[in-house]
């Protein structure tokens, strides 16, 4: 067991100081960790800009937050569907028009364990298209405002990165020949995490030291992620697991992304989340990241493939 820099209890939101004047942009906030992260940020005085696909759910979420925290909270929603590149571009344009600073952009939204091979409107396998390509493009489009703000990019990965083939299947990115719900989810999360450390390297090479980039994972948290996209059997098993000590609350699942978005002097080379057995639950701190997630040659190729796929080159 490694020593937790935040003590035996790990990191908790008690460490967050007053966030008045700071703006956080976060995807996927109508439930789960995204909702809980938004609520905690707002309770600390931050402005929160939520990016969600479902406008009616977003409206209900804002009403709930105002009921819980008061009508004076500064929260808004911008419609965006990570499965549609056009929607991502439109939402990014709206963010840049309405938001004059981004202290942290939190890539929280994801889909998981899609039972059968499904494609986005842009022709990407759905899990890779949403979890990786959608977030990759959105980060690139918002980067100029994040840089102006000396802000952060926080990518919510998953321990699932370590359950698949442990590299990127470049010869068949859509998994036409060997599709498996868990294997492809793992691939999408590995891609997300690899690009965090590749982005760090590219920022350093460009002498850009104002933007910090972090990777984290929520552990096993009681969210609706599996419920919204997993198979019937996967959903059934997950509902049972949520009743056991193996799974923590969505609120605790939000702690790692909140830490990465607010904690000062946090080492960018780390991978953060619950530090208990199998990293499912427990005190939040630094977790071991397997070497294949920082394979430089694979990460460089993945970056180039991703830029080509989304038709946009990062501008540093």
Instruction: Point out the residues that are catalytic.
Output: 185
For 199-256, the three-class secondary structure string (H helix, E strand, C coil) is HHHHHHHCCCCCCEEEEECCCCECCCHHHHHCCHHHHHHHHHHCCCCCCECHHHHHHH
* 231 contacts 115 by C-beta, under 8 angstroms: yes
| Other CB atoms within 10 A of residue 66 CB | 14
Q: Which two tokens stand for residue 27?
A: 């995807």
Q: Which two tokens stand for residue 309?
A: 């796929």
By residue count, the chain amounts to 316
* 316 contacts 140 by C-beta, under 8 angstroms: no
Q: Cα separation of 297 and 246, whole Å?
A: 36
Strands 104-107 and 152-156 come out as parallel
Distances (CA, A) of 297 to 62, 190, 300, 305, 309: 43, 14, 5, 12, 18
């Amino acid at each position: 067991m490694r020593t937790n820099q935040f003590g035996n209890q790990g990191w908790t939101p008690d460490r967050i100081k007053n966030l008045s004047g700071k703006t956080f942009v976060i995807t996927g906030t109508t439930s789960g960790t995204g909702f809980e992260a938004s609520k905690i940020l707002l309770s600390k005085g931050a402005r929160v800009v939520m990016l969600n696909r479902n406008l009616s759910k977003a409206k209900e979420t804002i009403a709930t937050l105002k009921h819980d925290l008061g009508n004076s909270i500064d929260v808004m929603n911008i419609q965006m569907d990570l499965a549609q590149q056009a929607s991502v571009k439109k939402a990014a344009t709206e963010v840049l028009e309405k938001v004059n600073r981004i202290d942290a952009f939190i890539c929280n939204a994801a889909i998981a364990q899609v039972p059968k091979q499904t494609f986005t409107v842009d022709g990407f396998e759905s899990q890779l298209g949403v979890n990786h390509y959608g977030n990759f493009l959105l980060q690139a489009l918002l980067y100029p405002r994040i840089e102006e703000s000396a802000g952060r990019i926080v990518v919510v990965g998953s321990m699932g990165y370590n359950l698949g083939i442990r590299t990127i299947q470049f010869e068949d990115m859509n998994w036409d020949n060997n599709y498996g719900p868990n294997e492809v989810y793992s691939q999408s999360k590995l891609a997300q995490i690899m690009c965090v450390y590749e982005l760090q390297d590219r920022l350093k090479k460009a002498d850009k030291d104002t933007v910090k980039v972090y990777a984290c994972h929520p552990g096993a948290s009681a969210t609706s992620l599996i419920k919204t996209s997993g198979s019937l059997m996967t959903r059934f098993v997950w509902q049972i697991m949520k009743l056991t000590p193996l799974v923590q609350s969505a609120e605790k699942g939000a702690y790692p992304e909140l830490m990465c978005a607010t904690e000062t002097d946090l080492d960018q080379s780390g991978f953060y989340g619950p530090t208990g057995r199998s990293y499912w639950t427990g005190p939040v701190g630094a977790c071991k990241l397997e070497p294949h997630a920082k394979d430089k040659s694979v990460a460089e190729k993945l970056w180039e493939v991703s830029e080509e796929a989304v038709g946009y080159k990062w501008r540093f």
